[in-house]
Structure 1
Amino acid sequence: MDQENVSATLTVAVPAARVFAVLADPTTHSAIDGTGWVQEAVDRAPLTEVGQIFRMDMYHANHPNGGYQTVNKVEILGPPHTIGWLTGQEKDDGHLEFGGWIWRYDLAPLGPSQTEVTLTYDWSAVPQFIRERGIQFPPFGPEHLTNSLHHLAELVSGR
């Protein structure tokens, strides 16, 4: 695959500010997740600044530990239009290591009560040594992005 990102777009019938507020709340991420891997927010504070760290409890049957924790670092924050974070892990010595993949949401208002939401998973910055570990990118099918957007739409519309 030459392209090193995958994205999906969905229009939701709510204002961009409402969508952004839900995305900036880590406690909603497990309900939005289209893979079923995100379990619960460890850090529950709203995302308010670039560089902010938030952790998520995860589960994946193929992960060596099953349950694990990711560390995320807010990389892009432009309310109410963009939000994105790098995902990584905390090493045993407390050092944070990010793999180079980013989750990004772009929100385009289509009027006062409609928003076009694009979710992008981009792995173009993944260094060669990580790629050589045999990790497949993306580690899920594109339908998981579409699933996430549908979950987000249900959440923001109160369904």
Structure 2
Amino acid sequence: MPKHMVARSVVVDAPAKRIFDLVATPSQHAVIDGSGTVQGAQHGPERLELGSEFGMDMKMLGLPYRMTNRVVEFEEGRLIAWKHVGSHRWRYELRELPEGGTLVTETFDYSRGQTAFHVLSGSPARNARGIVRTLERLKAAAEAEEV
């Protein structure tokens, strides 16, 4: 794992398209978020693509706030990443497996500046826990979807 990145993976018993559609739809982010910070979509497109800007209602330590994100990496059905005013990125990578299912990797990439702040604030460990819970929720949602 490269320095200043936190990533976790899970195998989901669903096609990559179904999983990607959940991640690329901002209104679903509060459903799959395991960190407890994402409260709901505020503005933006129904479905994300490269360059999309979307706003989310957030809450941390009991304090509500709003965050605007921009999609900075995008490959339909395989990769999506966004960033907000900070330089770090949230990335989802999907790879369908030959034996069935899809390997989903979520990454918190804080390698593009402010690394000391993230380390001192405990973000890597806190985000690792949130990523694990998010992947559990994403797996449950994707596997429960009607075909």
**What TM-score results when the alignment is normalised by the length of structure 1?**
0.80
* Pair 1:81–1:141, CA change in 2 (3 A): closer
CA distance in 1, matches of 2:77, 2:131: 20
Gaps of 5+ in 2: none
User: Paired residue for 2:38?
Assistant: 38
Gaps of 5+ in 1: 88-97
AA partner of residue 60 (structure 1): M
Larger radius of gyration: 1
1:146 to 113, 132, 135: 132
1:69 aligns with 2:66: yes
1:1-159 superposed matches below 5 A: 3-43=3-43, 45-61=45-61, 66-87=63-84, 98-111=85-98, 113-127=100-114, 131=117, 135-138=121-124, 140-158=126-144
Equivalences, count: 143
Structure richer in helix, relative to its length: 2
Task: Compare 46-55 and 149-158 and name the one that shifted more.
Answer: 46-55
1:144 deviates by: 1.4
* Pair 1:113–1:27, CA change in 2 (3 A): farther
The sequence identity of aligned pairs, in percent, is 29
**What TM-score results when the alignment is normalised by the length of structure 2?**
0.86
Superposition CA RMSD, Å: 2.3
